[in-house]
Amino acid sequence: MRIINWEQDSLYTTAVKRVEFVSNRVSYIVLRSHCCNIIVLNVHAPSEEKTDDSKDSFYEELEQVFGHFPKYHMKILLENFNAKVGGENIFKPTTGNESLHQDSNDNGVRIVNFATSKNLVKSTMFPHQNIHLDF
């Protein structure tokens, strides 16, 4: 195992262009690469039980941050959307054929709508076994 000292290792410090903590729910790091910048966004959405206003506020903030970056930069979204994305046919072009859940909850619908509006790559392409389901 190698422990990295960020202050002393020039390979890593030259790759990091910027780190931004937008709020307690949204942060990102911009990394320099060979062909374009890589933007890694880390988000934590309000839970399903929160009010629609808090969820709307979160997605407005996410839209602003996401829209701030040039389209040609690579964007990676690390997330905890507190969402259940189901296998509804209407979502399959965005989510793929595989899902752990039968039905989407409100947060699931919100993240699919966000992903669709931003042409994001689907992440549920691989089959899951039912042993992973939480009941």
pLDDT tens-digit readout, 74-129: 998 888 888 878 777 777 777 767 677 778 888 888 888 888 888 876 555 555 56
pLDDT tens-digit readout, 53-71: 999 999 999 999 999 999 8
- Which pairing describes strands 74-80 and 26-32: parallel, antiparallel, or unpaired? unpaired
| C-alpha–C-alpha distance, residues 78 and 122, integer Å | 13
Question: Is the whole-model pTM more than 0.85?
Answer: no
Helical spans, DSSP H, in the chain: 10-15, 52-68, 92-95, 106-117
